[in-house]
Amino acid sequence: MNGVTGRMGHRQHLVRSVLALREQGGLALDDGTVLWPEPVLVGRRAPALEQLADLHGLDRRNISTDLDAVLADETVDIYFDAQITSAREEAVRKAIAAGKHVYTEKPVAGTLDGALDLARRATAAGVRHGVVQDKLYLPGLLKLRRLVASGFFGRILSVRGEFGYWVFEGDWQPAQRPSWNYRAEDGGGIVSDMFPHWEYVLHELFGRVTSVQALTATHVPRRWDENGKPYEATADDAAYGVFELAGGIVAQINSSWAVRVHRDELAEFQVDGTEGSAVAGLRRCRVQHRSVTPRPVWNPDVPATGSFRDQWQEVPDDQESGNAFKAQWEEFLRHVHTGAPYPRDLLAGARGVQLAELGLRSSAEGRRLDVPELTL
């Protein structure tokens, strides 16, 4: 596990996924096999790795600052990467060359060419590979997926997404995100971070993205890093995208780290269809069917007499949903051990990089761009 000294790698992947699997006694498979993950922590700073190992009761012999040595260890089966984006591609390429199965955070590479190269190398090497697509395992989107599968919407017309929150500049309050996120030269930017998420959400729930038109902005041009030092933000901190999907669905998604939240959850998607509509967040999902849709009338001279939100029905929690990252870890470990089909592979990761790349180009050129279908 490379990069678990970072916030996401530590909290979601190490603690809430791999260590949580160990706490529950391992991952039990249908054939009676129990998979027991043994994490090997890799990073650049030995003291930070030692602190993590001590904090979680892990053997200090299972930490290293030498990635090549760990990849040469025949007892290591899987390489996981949660590093800074700019360091990921080279490390994943090394892991594939060493014959390791690969599971990685997104974006999988800095360019589409690099992402496709990784997918081709992994396929040629015969290793199993996957990319983190955690949003698909969230309760709200699981409910939304069930609604789509049931035909609730009829013909789906459009998807509207809102994501984001105010990330403090770092001067009077510490920023909630690392400073490299706001430096393009370090692989930062909200497009490279979030467009890969939107690609797989749209692709798996509604259809393949066939075109993109985006406008990016750096709304906050000056920020302060982890040491209180000011720096110029060179990466986009907001993106406004319109995506056309196969079948004619239109999706519009706003992403921003410079917006104050006035909605129920940090990410929400409204889906409108001929037979009904839904609003799904990270956990909740509410619906309004055609048969109970009120008749709104535009009259700005008369105050609204009721709450529009009260006209929607809550979708119940019919199944227990755990941590989204852990759920995908379980699925990937099953895939590695049994060879069960697994669509969230490096080619899927390359689609996310492609959409981010085209989104940035669309904004720079001021035009809509087609999104070609990817194959290896």
Q: Has residue 321 got a pLDDT over 90?
A: no
Assess whether pLDDT exceeds 90 at residue 320. Answer: no
DSSP-assigned letter for residue 42: E
Q: Which of 278, 261, 12 is nearest to 147 (CA)?
A: 278
Question: Could you report the per-residue pLDDT of 142-173, keeping only the tens digit for each?
Answer: 999 999 999 999 999 999 999 999 999 999 99
pLDDT at 352: 98
pLDDT confidence band for 296 (50 / 70 / 90): confident
pLDDT of residue 36: 96
> pLDDT tens, 193-247?
999 999 999 999 999 999 999 999 999 999 999 999 999 999 999 999 999 999 9
> Domains (ranges, CATH) in the chain?
7-134+325-346 (3.40.50.720), 135-318 (3.30.360.10)
What is the predicted pLDDT for the residue at 304? Answer: 84
What is the Cα–Cα distance from 248 to 133, expressed in whole angstroms?
Answer: 24
N- to C-terminal Cα separation, the chain: 27
Residue 218 DSSP symbol: -
Residues 6+ apart with CB under 8 A from 59: 53
Share of the chain above pLDDT 90, in %: 93
Residue 288 φ/ψ, nearest 5 degrees: -140, 115
Among residues 13, 76, 7, 102, the alpha carbon closest in space to that of 48 is found at 7
Phi, psi for 241 (deg, rounded to 5): -120, 145
What pLDDT score was predicted for residue 177?
Answer: 95
**d(C-alpha 169, C-alpha 302), whole Å:** 41
What confidence score (pLDDT) does residue 131 get?
A: 98
Q: What is the pLDDT of residue 5?
A: 93
Work out whether strand 129-131 and strand 101-104 pair parallel, antiparallel, or are unpaired. parallel
pLDDT digits (tens, 9 = 90+) for 94-145: 999 999 999 999 999 999 999 999 999 999 999 999 999 999 999 999 999 9
User: Contact, 285 vs 315, CB < 8 A?
Assistant: yes
CA atoms 14, 19, 20, 21: torsion sign: positive
Catalogue the long-range contacts made by 73-78 (C-beta closer than 8 Å, 24 or more residues apart): 73/40, 76/40, 76/100, 77/101, 77/336, 78/102, 78/103, 78/336
**Other beta carbons within 10 Å of 318:** 8
Please tell me the distance from the alpha carbon of residue 65 to that of residue 40, in angstroms, as a whole number: 11
Would you say 86 and 186 are in contact if contact means Cβ atoms under 8 Å apart?
A: yes
* Residues contacting 181, CB < 8 A, separation 6+: 188, 189, 193, 235, 257
CA–CA separation, 145 and 35 (whole Å):
29
pLDDT digits (tens, 9 = 90+) for 339-352: 988 999 999 999 99
> Which of the residue ranges 187-201, 217-231, 259-273, 304-318 would you say has the lowest mean pLDDT?
304-318
Confidence band for 68, pLDDT divided at 50, 70 and 90? very high
Q: Which of 100, 238, 108 is nearest to 162 (CA)?
A: 238
Rounded to the nearest 10°, the torsion over CA 81, 20, 8, 92 is 0
∠ CA 264-270-271, nearest 5°, is 155
Joined together, the tokens standing for residue 42 give: 């890799």
Contacts of 41 (CB under 8 A, 6+ apart): 1, 4, 14, 49, 52, 53, 58, 62, 63, 64
Average pLDDT, the chain: 96
The strand ranges marked E within 20-171 are 27-28, 34-35, 41-42, 63-64, 78-81, 101-104, 129-131, 156-164
Q: Which of 198, 136, 122, 195 is nearest to 344 (CA)?
A: 136
